[in-house]
């Protein structure tokens, strides 16, 4: 009788699927910087618009 194939054993101390944290960290930094710049531009625009009225 043939034996059914078994699932591969996973080693929980070593993960090959985890993304590198330094890459995520740098993307996060870039995104936050971009949001900060856009927010500053919005605040400046609103301030100038308020002065004109």
Q: Which two tokens stand for residue 8?
A: 């591969």
Give the pLDDT confidence score for residue 48 in this predicted structure.
96
Helices (H), 1-53: 21-52
DSSP 1: -
The position carrying tokens 């043939």 is: 2
Long-range pairs for 45-51: beta carbons < 8 A, 24 or more residues apart: none
User: What is the Cα–Cα distance from 49 to 53, expressed in whole angstroms?
Assistant: 7
pLDDT tens, position by position, for the chain (53 residues)? 566 666 656 555 555 556 667 777 888 999 999 999 999 999 999 999 999 98
Give the pLDDT confidence score for residue 30 in this predicted structure.
92
User: What is the Cα–Cα distance from 47 to 49, expressed in whole angstroms?
Assistant: 5
């Amino acid at each position: 009788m043939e034996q059914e194939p078994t699932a591969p054993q996973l080693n929980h101390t070593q993960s090959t699927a985890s993304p590198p944290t330094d890459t995520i960290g740098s993307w996060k930094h870039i995104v936050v910087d971009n949001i900060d710049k856009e927010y500053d531009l919005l605040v400046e625009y609103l301030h100038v618009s308020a002065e004109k009225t």
